[in-house]
Amino acid sequence: MIPESANQIKSPALSIDRIKAGVKGIMGRKIFFYETIDSTNTAAAALAGEGEEEGAVVVADSQSKGRGRLGRSWLSPPGVNIYMSILLKPEMVAKDATLITIMAAVGCTIALRKVTGLDITIKWPNDLMVSEKKLGGILTETRVVRKRMEYAITGIGVNVNMDADALPDIVKEAATSIKMETGKSFSRTEVIREVLNEIDDWYNILRKKRYSELLSQWKHLTSTLGRNVQVVLGKETLQGQAESINDEGMLVLRLPSGASRVVQCGDLTLLR
């Protein structure tokens, strides 16, 4: 059993009690905090295995094995950023899992825009972008039994107060933080609270299967549609225009031949 460790907090700028006091719905009513952990997604999956309820959240000040999509690692230094995972138990079939990422991206983007005033956009499917640089990302992992989703873990990483010199050279061109964009430090407590409350609202919309509302909000917030893009899918690389996303959250690409192609997941680059 993993303890609900609200009293173990040593990072003054991150108050789990204040987050809990400010949440309006089920997201974050219960928060498990770690100074450091391998990955909050792994911890949240362990909680799910122990029968923890939907809406439970794992927050860490740092991660030793933070992971991103496509087997990448996620830079997770202490004291500056947000690393958290939410346990969800939606009534959903496995093939609709992308909609969870879409929902979390919408919730995060709206919350981060409110708190920071930055013009944050979503790059399909899960990147939170500002000035064409990555500010955050979402990693949804599911457990599926007989095509039904037993649970989903939505992991959220946001670069909040990280300085440019903390970024390895290899990602300096491609990544940013709220502080790097605004010149100001932000309270992680406040950011997490806003994100959890916004995700609560959008999760309710998802649960009620109001997919067109969710997808139209995503379309409003994305920087991907209408752009020429490259998508790497394993060994295959496609180029074309990002035309739309379908009802399952998959990208519809218009190829130079005029044919359209639906892409479920892949590594997308916006082309000039």
Residues engaged in binding ligand BTN (CB under 6 A): 39-41, 63, 66-69, 72, 74, 83-85, 126-127, 137-139, 155-157
Q: Which residues contact 60 (CB under 8 A, 6 or more apart)?
A: 33, 34, 35, 36, 37, 40, 43, 76, 83, 84
> Which CB, 85 or 116, lies closer to ligand BTN?
85
Phi first, then psi: give them for residue 162, nearest 5 degrees.
-70, 135
The nearest distance, CB 250 to ligand BTN, in angstroms, is: 18
Q: In what helix (H) or strand (E) does residue 45 lie, and over which residues does it extend?
A: helix 40-49
The nearest distance, CB 183 to ligand BTN, in angstroms, is: 24
The nearest distance, CB 16 to ligand BTN, in angstroms, is: 16
- Nearest residue to ligand BTN, by Cβ distance, number only: 137
Give the Cβ contact number of residue 119 at 10 Å: 11
> Which CB, 35 or 213, lies closer to ligand BTN?
35
> Which CB, 77 or 212, lies closer to ligand BTN?
77
The nearest distance, CB 255 to ligand BTN, in angstroms, is: 25
Instruction: Report the C-alpha gap between 141 and 209 in whole angstroms.
Output: 20
> Which CB, 153 or 242, lies closer to ligand BTN?
153
The nearest distance, CB 46 to ligand BTN, in angstroms, is: 13
Contact 194, 109 (CB under 8 A): no
Distances (CA, A) of 146 to 45, 152, 206, 210, 235: 18, 15, 21, 24, 29
